[in-house]
Structure 1
Amino acid sequence: MGDDTMKLHTLGPEATDSYKATMYLREMYLDLEDAEVVLHSSFDDIYRHLEHEQGDLFLVPVAYRSAQSNGNWADNNLKYSNQLDIINVFKLPIMPLMLVRNPDDNNGKAVLHPSTKQLIKEYSLDKGRKLNLEFVDSKAEALAKFKGNGYEFAIVSKDIYNIDCEHRHDEIISEYSPTMIWCLYRIG
């Protein structure tokens, strides 16, 4: 690959909705089908290195909230407006989500991506339980930590959970099937 190959930056790993949205873009737009997909461990990582990614593309969901900082899509869209040019906005269903409970851990600890916080807050209020929330950079990371035990609750992608956790006996509390709005930027 030459240096002139278009790069498309988003959140990894391949189990993320961001990766799936990137594959959708590559199918829909012929000029993107050869783009090199660059997966990052967090959106914060992409925002921190914008000056090194000039001319590349950046795909982010508008529900983005950082697990590392106070960053979110709305604030960053303004903060980086001189470096990011919106070239496309589209909607796409994300993988169905589940709020799961490990009956072996009754410690009130929950691991989740910050963008799903409202879902667990509703459950917490409904049940009158105060939960200790730990935020991570992706739902895939939330599932990995949940599988490692020590957490009573997690919000995870249903499809990945069903593949990776078929032998677990967790309680499925709720399922959600949201549609996400995605923003594609050119980094300038």
Structure 2
Amino acid sequence: MNSVIIHTLGPQETDSNDAAHYYLDRNTSIKAQIILHNSYEEIINTFPKYRNEFFLVPTAFKSAKFNMSWGELHYRYLSQLILKDCFLHSLNPLVVLENCGQKNGIAYSHPATAQLLITHVQPSQIRYCPSKYLAYQQYLQDGQYSLTNERNISLSSNEKILARYESQMIWSLYQIKG
């Protein structure tokens, strides 16, 4: 791997982008372009277009749209992906937020973090977003609850942090066969 393209979840505020930069910082012999996408599903849907390029995904991957976890992704696309590397990299601290001025029971979360969210709140509705960053952006519009990265937030006087977590994550780097 001398010069490669790595596809992962964007925008720049995501843990996926951080993990891609972390990987490249630790593997200085690899020159890479990181391409950020709106969702993992967008990347998966276009595997044939990215032949011989790379796909970076956390092992906590979960898709509500495809009803698939990382393990299911790994086996379902076994003929299209070659696992090239794995590494450990921390997530930005996670927080469960409540907007005390909102009483609609709507919660925003990435599908992978929804179970953690509901250990603290019982929303009437969970709306899934492609990233924790976008979950926070939607929460700001009309949400009562959200699980997002701590660095994404700017607390108002109506908001409170219900829980905070620090977590390690295993990241998988695949080469796309197409």
Give the TM-score category using the shorter length: over 0.9
SS of corresponding position for 1:123: coil
In structure 2, relative to structure 1, the CA distance for the partners of 1:168 and 1:113 (3 Å cut) is: farther
CA contact (8 A) 1:9 1:38 kept: yes
Letter in 1 for 2:26: M
The share of aligned pairs that are identical, in percent, is 28
After TM superposition, which residue ranges in structure 1, 4 or more long, deviate above 3 angstroms? 166-169
How far apart, CA to CA, are the structure 2 residues paired with 1:153 and 1:130? 8
Give the match's secondary structure for 1:181. strand
Unaligned runs of 5+ in 1: none
User: Is 1:52–2:49 an aligned residue pair?
Assistant: yes
The one-letter code matched in structure 2 to 1:177 is E
SS of 1:31's equivalent in the other structure is coil
Unmatched tracts of structure 2, length 5 or more: none
Give the superposed CA RMSD.
Answer: 1.5
CA contact (8 A) 1:67 1:137 kept: no
1:152 and 2:150 correspond: no
- Alignment correspondent of 1:20: 18
Q: Over residues 87-141 of structure 1, what are the superposed CA-to-partner deviations in whole Å (9 max), with x where a residue is unaligned? A: 11111110001000001111111011011111122123xxxx4531110100010
1:171 aligns with 160
**Aligned match of 1:82 in 79, 88, 102?**
79
Q: Which of 107, 110, 128 lines up with 1:110 in the alignment? A: 107
Matched residues, number:
176
Q: How far apart, CA to CA, are the structure 2 residues paired with 1:88 and 1:6?
A: 14
Partner Cα distance (2:172, 2:123) in 1: 34
Could you say which structure has the higher strand fraction?
Answer: 2
Tell me the distance in 1 between the aligned counterparts of 2:173 and 2:130. 19
- By percentage of residues, which structure has more helix? 1
Query: Does structure 1 retain, via aligned residues, the 8 Å contact 2:56–2:174?
Result: yes
